[in-house]
Amino acid sequence: MALKARQKLGKYRIERRISEGPIAAVYEAVDTIHGLHVALKIPHESSMSEHFLADFKREARLAQRLEHPNILPIRDASFIADRFVIAMPLGERSLASRMRRRLSTESALSLIEQAVAAVAHAHGTNVIHCDIKPDNFILFEGERLKLTDFGFSKVAERTLKASGSGTVGYIAPEQAVGRPKFQSDVFSLGLVIYELLSGYLPEWPYDWPPPEVKRVREKVGAKLTDWLRHAIQVRPESRYKNAVTMYREFKRLRNGAVKKRRRARINHADDPSLWQTVLFRQFRRKYGKSIEARYRCRHCAGPVSELMQSCPWCGTEPPLDRHKSRHPADCPRCHRGVKTDWHYCAWCYGPGFEVETTRRFGDKRYSTRCQNQTCRGPLMPFMRYCPWCRVKTKRPWKLPGSTTRCPHCRWGVDTNFWHYCPWCTKALDA
């Protein structure tokens, strides 16, 4: 039974249905606790067999395992009102939708690099996606591309037995007969890239050159066209071994092309990377101590804190790799730091913990107390939840040294440095 607008599903309020397939439907919803818009993937009740449910659970586990800026993270995966719900960040549109509009060469190369990087990361962790297509790449603000839908994914083993699942038009020949390999994802990815550059999707028997190859060559040059030809060979052994190799070769060829176009000596005064370095240093001097911006974003290398939900420089969620914390333990859900006397995660509304002691340890970072009169536990700045009673903090935290507030969450930000709110993840110029 389809869900209706304004219908409640646990802490989620359904806004609209985004898409619907034979197995599951995707809805836009509001997380009423965090105040965030999310995408909910919910299997149809008719599909709730043990087999399909196992596929959905596997998808959730794989997505949580694959931490990468270009792979869509999963915020939550659980049963709500007898429905298995996968909650994910809500993107702006799919790559399929973006491909209907004209793309500049730089935009196309940026999207290609992000797409190949996502699949390369999956292959680097022995995961074969098995359903690479434009609809499974989601675009976020700033044309940040993220790969989703690992429902057909297989974990590579010595003996790999898998069905011929996939999407007609993008599926590799060997995968169509039930023998997916890493090269199968390379083939499907090559077709997606060719379609992105030319507007044409090659068809069986995939003879080279396909139509519109001239347009591809004019757009990216002869070397990258040959790179693409190598990816969409019919014989798997003739393709790149995996997306890792494919990505490495793409970076080499693209960097070579950039260097060739920029033979003239670069004026260091105009080098944006130098200005970025200066900006980062200025920020560290002003806020490095007050918000503990002692780490670097895993995507852009900008200074970030474990207090942040996303990188304020590039919008990456989460900005840190796992297990980087000043605290003695990690939350098993968001992997951010927690203290051993806390009962709950102060950042993600995660599960309760088995505390090591009933004694509350002091900490000089505690600056206020919980608004819950029955709790009144000490709180650190920028905590989202009380670690003692799990009540959501209602105070809009201030950023020391700045009077500017995020227009969405009302928490303190500094628009002189940041492009995104690190607390609610939304763009500050929206």
**pTM of the full structure:** 0.57
pLDDT at 162: 43
pLDDT at 103: 84
Tell me if residue 131 is catalytic: yes
Positions in the chain short of pLDDT 50? 157-164, 259, 261-272, 430
pLDDT at 257: 55
Neighbours of 161 (CB within 10 A): 9
Contact 393, 386 (CB under 8 A): yes
Strands 154-155 and 137-140: unpaired
Residue-level length of the chain? 430
Q: Pick the catalytic residue: 31, 131, 149, 185?
A: 131
pLDDT at 301: 82
Contact 305, 291 (CB under 8 A): yes
pLDDT at 238: 94
Distance CA 415, CA 402 (A): 9
Burial zone of 45 (CB within 10 Å; 0-12 exposed, 13-18 middle, 19+ buried): exposed
pLDDT at 256: 59
pLDDT at 6: 84
Domains by residue range for the chain, with CATH: 8-89 (3.30.200.20), 93-260 (1.10.510.10)
